[in-house]
Amino acid sequence: MSELTVKTPWIEHLGDVPAHLEYFQGSMYDAVERISLQYPNGIAFDFMGKSTTYKTLVQRINECAKSLRTIGVRQGDKVTIAMPNCPQAIYMFYAVNLIGAVANMIHPLSAEKEIEFYLNASNSVTAITLDQFYHKFDHIRSNTKVVNIIIASVKDELSRPVRAGYMLTEGRKIEKIPKDAPVIRWKEFMRLGKHCFYNYKVQTSANDVAVILYSGGTTGTTKGIELTNLNFNALGQQVVASNQMFRPGDRMLAAMPIFHGFGLGVCIHTMLSQGGRCILVPRFTAKSYAKLITKYKCNFIAGVPTLYEALLRLPSMEGADLSSLKGVFSGGDSLSIELKKKFDKFLADHRAAIQVREGYGTTETVTACCLTPRDRYKEGSIGLPFPDTYIKIVKPDTDEELPYGEEGEILLAGPTVMKGYMDNPEETAHTLRKHADGLTWVYTGDLGVMDDEGFIYFKGRAKRMIISSGYNIYPAQLENIIDAHEMVQMSCVIGIPDTYKMQAVKAFIMLKPGVKADEATRENIMAYCRKHIAKYAMPKEIEFRDELPKTLVGKVAYRKLEEEELAKRKQ
C-alpha cells in the first residue's frame, strides 16, 4: 500500500476528482490575465445590470495599478479595501496584487474603532471605501498612518438609466462629503494613472503574502491572517477540479462578501481565475438573491445555512425555475441535517437536478478545503478533502492521531494553508505545527470524526462547547435535533450560568410562520426534546424569537445571544 493511500483512505472515492494538481505559480493577477487572453470577450462580471468583459477587467486593473503607483504605493505596502462586492473593489484588489502590495480586506460596516484597529494593525498607507462610509474613516484617520483615502461611489459603475433610479432612492440617503475633503474621488484617482510612465508591474512569487483577512482564530481574539498568491490560486484550481461540471462562462452568484474568505476565495477569485462569470451582489438580501438566481440563470450558488433557510420562506421563489443550477454549496457554519433535507426538497420542487453540498474550512486555509462529493452523500458528513489537502483527527492539541470513528480535533494541511498570523509569531507557532510526516498542519480548534472511508463529520467548534455537570454538550448537535421539530424554523443553543451545574442549556427558537409562541408550543417542543436529547443536555430554558441575530456574514450570532444573557443576569 502506497504512502499516498495510507494518508488518503478516501482516494478511491474521489471519482472524477484528481488526487493531485499542478498549481499555477504566478500571482493572482497573472491567473486572471491568463484567462483574459483566452476569453477576452467573455463576461467577467455583472453588476446591477451592467456587464464587464475580461478584456475590460484587465485594462481597468492596469489603470488602477498605475494610479496606485502614482500616489506612492509601493511593493509590500498595505492597502485597506473596505468595500462591498462592486467593480471598484475588484479592480483595486487585483491592482494591489499587480504592483506587489498587500490587500487588507475589511468589512465596510465595521465600527469606527474596529476600522482604526484594522488600519493600524496592518500599517495601511492607503484605503478605499464607498462614499457612504467616508465619515467613519474621517473620524479616525488622524489616529492612523493612512496617507490617501480613495472614495468610490456605486453610481459611478451603473448604466445611465439605473444610475438615475439609484440617485432617486439609495443615493439620496448618502451624507454629502465636503468638497474640500482630503480624499481622492474614484474617477479622479483613475485619471492619475496617465502620469505613470515607468514600469508599475512587480514580479511576485507564489509564496509572497498577497492578502490579509481577519478571523478570531482558535482563541477568539481578532488576528490578521496572511495569505499568499498560491493559497488563492490553489483554491481556485481545487474548487474547479472538485466540480468537473464547471465550464468557462458558468455563472456564480457572488453574494458572499469580498472581505470574507468564502466570498473572495470561492465566489470571486475562483471564478475570475478559471474563466467563470461573477454576478456581483453589493448588498445581500434574500429577496435580491432569489431574483438574481433566476434572472441570470445561475449555475452555482454558495452561501451560509441561514441564507438557504431564508430562501425557503420567500414567496417570490414559488414557481421559480432552478434547472440551470449545477452546484449549490453551503459553508461557514454547520448545515443541519434537517435544513439540508428541506432545501434538497425545495431544489427538487424547483426543477434543480442537484442537492446542496456542504463544505468545511477555516480562514487559515482561505476558506473551504473539503466538500461533499457530487455523487455520494453521507448523512451529517462535510465530505472529503480537496486535491492535495489532508485532514486528520487528533487528540486535541497533540499530534496523536485517533482511530476512525473517534472524536478529536480537526487538523488541515495543503497548499491553501496560511503563511501565518500577522505580527503574531506565538499564535502562528501554536496554530501551525510541522509533524513528522513533513507537512505543516493547521490546528483548527474544531472537533470532528473521520470514518474508515475518509468522510469527515464536523462535531462543533471546540470553543463552542457547553460543559454541564462535567458532561460535554455540543450546541450544533442539539440544534440539529430541535430544527427537526415540525414547528421549528431555526434554533440556536447556548450555555447559560447555572449555580449547580456550572452551565445549563438555553435554546432560542424561531418558529415556523403561523405557529403561536405560547406555553402549549413550548411544552410540545420540550416533550419532543425529552424524547430525543439526553437528560444532562436537555434545555433548561426555551426563548422564542421572531428572528435570530446574524453576524456580518450571515451566520447565527450565538455570541451575541451569550452576551445578551450575561447582561441580563448582571442586572
DSSP-derived 3-state class of residue 241 = helix
Comparing 307-311, 439-443, 514-518, the range with the smallest average pLDDT is: 307-311
Separation between Cα atoms, residue 515 and residue 420, nearest integer Å: 48
Which cell is 530 given? 425529552
Give residues with Cβ within 8 angstroms of 196, minimum separation 6: 66, 67, 69, 70
Which cell is 424 given? 503574531
Count CA atoms closer than 13 A to 85's CA, side-chain side: 26
Q: Specify the amino acid at residue 355.
A: Q
Give pLDDT, residue 421.
97
Give residues with Cβ within 8 angstroms of 66, minimum separation 6: 192, 193, 194, 196, 200
Interior/surface letters 527-546, b for 16+ CB within 10 angstroms, e for the rest:
ebbeeebeeebbbeebebee
CA of residue 208 relative to chain centroid, distance? 22
Answer yes or no: is pLDDT of 87 > 60: yes
Query: For residues 477 and 60, which has the higher predicted lDDT (pLDDT)?
Result: 60
Q: How many residues does the chain have?
A: 571
Answer yes or no: is pLDDT of 219 > 70: no
Separation between Cα atoms, residue 364 and residue 374, nearest integer Å: 25
Answer yes or no: is pLDDT of 1 > 60: no
For residue 396, CA distances in Å to 176, 212, 407, 409, 447 come to 53, 27, 9, 5, 8
**CATH architecture assigned to 3-22+249-263+277-410+422-460:** 3-Layer(aba) Sandwich (3.40)
Comparing 195-199, 301-305, 352-356, 435-439, the range with the smallest average pLDDT is: 195-199
**Model confidence over 134-192: pLDDT tens digits?**
999 999 999 999 999 999 999 889 877 777 776 767 767 788 899 999 999 999 999 99
**Model confidence over 2-42: pLDDT tens digits?**
333 334 444 444 567 888 999 999 999 999 999 999 999 99
DSSP 84: -
Separation between Cα atoms, residue 10 and residue 279, nearest integer Å: 34
Answer yes or no: is pLDDT of 390 > 80: yes
Separation between Cα atoms, residue 136 and residue 85, nearest integer Å: 19
Please say whether the structural domain 464-570 has been given the CATH code 3.30.300.30. yes
Answer yes or no: is pLDDT of 406 > 50: yes
What's the whole-model pTM score?
0.85
Give pLDDT, residue 6.
36
Comparing 2-16, 323-337, 344-358, the range with the smallest average pLDDT is: 2-16
**Model confidence over 109-138: pLDDT tens digits?**
888 888 999 999 999 999 999 999 999 999
DSSP-derived 3-state class of residue 363 = helix
Give pLDDT, residue 300.
98
Give pLDDT, residue 467.
75
Highest mean pLDDT among 77-81, 113-117, 319-323: 77-81
- pLDDT band at residue 465 using 50, 70 and 90 as cut-offs: confident
The sign one gets for the Cα dihedral 335, 340, 346, 351 is positive
- pLDDT band at residue 53 using 50, 70 and 90 as cut-offs: very high
Give residues with Cβ within 8 angstroms of 197, minimum separation 6: none
**Do 464-570 and 3-22+249-263+277-410+422-460 fall under one CATH topology?**
no
Give pLDDT, residue 127.
98
Highest mean pLDDT among 57-61, 327-331, 532-536: 57-61
Structural domain spans, the chain: 3-22+249-263+277-410+422-460, 28-204, 464-570
Answer yes or no: is pLDDT of 82 > 80: yes
Separation between Cα atoms, residue 478 and residue 468, nearest integer Å: 14
Mean pLDDT over the full length of the chain: 90
Separation between Cα atoms, residue 266 and residue 569, nearest integer Å: 41
What is the rounded average pLDDT of the residues 183-209?
93
Separation between Cα atoms, residue 458 and residue 306, nearest integer Å: 18
Query: For residues 537 and 189, which has the higher predicted lDDT (pLDDT)?
Result: 189
What is the rounded average pLDDT of the residues 80-99?
97
Please say whether the structural domain 28-204 has been given the CATH code 3.40.50.980. yes
Q: Which residues pair with 432 in a beta bridge?
A: 442
